[in-house]
Chain A
Amino acid sequence: MNTITRRDLGRLSLAAAVAGAGVTAGVFPAVAQSANPIRIGFAMALSGGLAGNGRATLLAYQIWAAEVNARGGILGRPVQLVFYDDQTTPGLVPGIYTKLLDVDRVDIVTSPYATAMIAPAMPVVMQRNVTFLTIFGAGVNEAFKYDRHFNMNVVGDNMKETYAKGFLDIAARLPTPARSIAILAVDNEFAQKAAESTRFLSRQRGLRIVYDRSYPPSTVDFTPTIRAVQAARPDVVFIASYPPDSSGILRAASELRFTPQIFGGGMVGPQLAAFQAQFGPILNNLVNWDVYSPEPTMNFPGVAAFQEKYRELAVKEQTDLLGNYIPPYAYGQMQVLEQTLTRIGKIDQTAMAADMHASEFDTIVGKFRFSASGEWAEPRNLYVQFQSIRDGDLEKYKRPGAKVILAPENLKSGELRAPYGPAA
């Protein structure tokens, strides 16, 4: 009888890992062939549940790498991306980072997308004392307190006291200010932190919490849950969900004709093109957390040119067609790296961390500094409202007016419309 030994299994695993690995290829094949490059290593979700944003992130990195190499590289050296598919499986991440640092011996490591994948990489990078620039983590460094961790995300240091502030500020602007709130959150770290922030700030502002529950990511039908929320008669509803759940929740709300004054919160999904194409008018008047909207108040230098380039390639690369969510930040993350290396003039992990702590960065998503814990020193949680949405045509999301910014005040581009529901 043929048997598979542990060694055979190890070989198969290695073969599978190699098959899933890549250097900058596909749309930018020439980059991989340059001599003595600066090698930037990372794991990325190219398959599995987070692959949608993972592949969009990778495309943004590749655009940046191509541009940098066209300009002659950094410190006179071209850059090369060395990446492996983490398959959205946290258990694979430590092995990938060990390989990147000990076998591939890359010069710099950046993170996978997002919190659940970043956390398992932390012990590996901390053991080797390398600077770790992460993308869209949420409070990962609260537990590790690693002084070489830097996170490209707008949520900032103190998520509990800041995340839902904009949402509740908007609720206070209703003609009859909201008095009750319902909170529904998926059982994952980011959503639970978002719900905790909403709970904390709602109590602080005297809002009555009439429904406060979590749901498992495996939930298929949200009709009974939304019906129970509806039965509690809240003025506003804060939901923290991930893409597959956000679909079910919005469909259920539509089928039940649920029209509270404000509906939305921290739903991940409505930021993405596929979602916007599918849901069309169901998104109308949804008030939701976001990171970018093509409003005049966010027209940072370089962002429009980047998006034009991204959108040209997105169809071929089968990633998010609009690139209004993570791609500008992924590109900005690499700009941070480029600016640091250019300033310090060498690849030195200690000097990189010191520079990131000390400097202000100017990127296509604006200027910012990192705090002592490596988060954005000034949080910038956007709350946008989908307005006048009557169909799933994506063109409108390339222009101002479809996703109006209601908070924060300094980026505000329009006024709240209530209640939630399809446009007349």
Chain B
Amino acid sequence: MFKMTPQILRNLISGPATRAYPRQIRPPFPATRGRLVNDIAQCNFCGACAVKCPSVCIEVDRHLSRWSFAPHICVCCGVCVEICPRHCLRQEPATGPPAAQKEMVALDAKS
């Protein structure tokens, strides 16, 4: 009748199931797809990432040599990283910091 009791006793001696965040932080897995980063020095502003992005979160202006990206619209699918001919896009394992407003990230070739 008391089928849950053995589980309760096991839980009592096995310690907490949760982590004591922020003292104990689980590091992200190396394969985790987090924030998108562009090595702008390598970028040739071809616009392939902007064309292929399913959530339309990347804009590329060839004339101004500007690559801009909306991190809050990005769905972390990794299509842009796969398609990039210069291999200058990559996804960091960590997610981006929290923000009060949804801002665009704009990177210029000359800056």
Partners in one complex: no
